[in-house]
Structure formats: structure tokens, C-alpha cells
Amino acid sequence: MLIIPAIDIRDGRCVRLHQGSYDDETVYFDDPVKMAKLWRVQNAQTLHVVDLDAARGEGAHNRDVIGQMCDALDIPIQLGGGIRSMEQIEAALDRGVYRVILGTAAVRSPDLVAQAIDEFGAQRVVVGLDARDGEVRVQGWTEGSGLDAVEFARDMEARGVRRFIYTDISRDGTLEGPNIAAYRTLGQQLSAAKITASGGVGEHNDLLDVQTLEPYGVDSVIVGTALYENRFPCQQFWAWQDKENVDLDTFSTASLR
């Protein structure tokens, strides 16, 4: 089970939203590049990065710092938020992003998904399945789509999608535990695609719960707030063991909130 740290960027800073609300935001750190280096020291094998401003259609002014993150790390970065055209997909991949996440674009321009997979491969293009009460949300989670999450995923799989990042918005940022039933239901309906679970992880028992879903195609989990809140004792061990390569002030700032 691959654990993927999340870095959500808004106005150039690392933030976490509570249940997807832009009005309920916690700023954890001002420098996403240092934050990315910290997660790497803490044994991250890949990072999940979301440009929250771009997701709401408010510009791509965070793209420069995301490019700096790609330059600074030796692990792959997956990027979501505001990627809605072939040109934007290509620009992100050319800048060093390993794979792009299509959310709103997949709902509003489903043919773009098949086109992108044909051009860049299914390993480089994944679909972000962001749902509240089973309905897919778009435009940075601010609008409903009227689409059932499972039916939408089945359509996307038929178009060539081989990975979904499934976020239960009602659990995101709450530390209240992941929606195990929703992930299981989706996995039962897919034939080939894998699932990355996202939303609600608060402590190590939640990770063990997600691990039970491996027979249903869930092979990875995104963790955000729990890492920022230092909910896992091993985080401090990793930081001190490699203190020559980590800014311990950054670790302290991120973990003591």
C-alpha cells in the first residue's frame, strides 16, 4: 500500500481545506518546495499536488513553484487542478510532472481523456473522482455535476482510464477516517483500473483499513492533514535520522499546528 503525501497549494502556500471548503482553510507552510523536500525525507515515494487556484479557474500562478518542486525532487509528482486541455496537459508533463489528474475536464470533455491517454499513455493521465454523497463534483469541488460517481468511473474506464483518485469530499481534511464502503463499491464495479483512496485518514489504523481493500483494486492512499498534524510517530524519526538534508524548522512548523 503506497502512502502518498498531499500538498495543496493556494496563493503559493501549503494549505488544507476542511471538506473541500475554501472558506475553511488552514495554512500550514509558506514554502511548498521546502514542504516537498520534507515529505521526501520522510520517505515519500511520490507526491500528490493540487493547484487549488487553478482548480477554481483563478489562474495558474502556482505553476512556477510546482515546477520548482519537480526540479528539487528525485521522485515523481502527480498534479491536479485546472488541467483542462491537451496544451495544459503537455505543458505540465514537459515541466517535469510525472502524471496529470483530470477532474472537471473529464466530466465536461470526456473525449479529452481518451485523446490524452492515446497521446501520453494511461500511466501519465489519471482521473480525479471527487464526490460528495455519491455525486461527482467539479470546478474545484464547488459545483455538482449530476453524475453518479460509480457510473462515471465505469464510462471513464471504457475510455481507457486505468487509475482513479477517489476523494470523498465529506471526509477530506476531517481526520475522521476514510469512506471504506465507497472505495469497496467502486472497486467492485471496475474491471481493470486501480484506485488511489483519498480523504479522511487520521491515524495508522485508517491505513490498515484501506489496506484491506487491496482485493478491490485499491493500492495506494493519499494522506494530507494527518501528516501535517504529525499523527504518525515515525515522521519525527525520519526527520532526525536525516537532519543534514531537512530543514528542521520546517518540520517543527508543519508538525506542531
> What local confidence, expressed as pLDDT, does residue 153 receive?
98
| Residue 139 or residue 153, greater confidence | 153
- Mean pLDDT of all residues in 98-102: 97
- Mean pLDDT of all residues in 219-248: 71
Taking Cα atoms as reference points, which of 222, 219, 223, 217 lies closest to residue 185? 217
What residues make up the domain containing 82? 2-255
Average pLDDT across the chain, whole number? 89
| Residue 116 or residue 40, greater confidence | 116
Condensed to tens digits (0 to 9), the pLDDT of residues 178-213 reads 999 999 999 999 999 999 999 999 999 999 999 999
146 bridge partner residues: none
Indicate which CATH number applies to the domain containing 246.
3.20.20.70
DSSP 148-215: EHHHHHHHHHHTT--EEEEEETTTTTT-S---HHHHHHHHHH-SS-EEEEES---SHHHHHHHHTTGG
DSSP 75-100: S-EEEESS--SHHHHHHHHHTT-SEE
> What local confidence, expressed as pLDDT, does residue 83 receive?
95
pLDDT band at 238 (very low <50, low <70, confident <90, very high): low
Q: What is the pTM of this model?
A: 0.89
Taking Cα atoms as reference points, which of 7, 57, 53, 6 lies closest to residue 30? 7
> What local confidence, expressed as pLDDT, does residue 245 receive?
52
Q: Out of 64-73, 75-84, 116-125, 133-142, pick the least confident.
A: 133-142
Number of structural domains the chain divides into: 1
Could you give the residue numbers annotated as active site? 8, 130
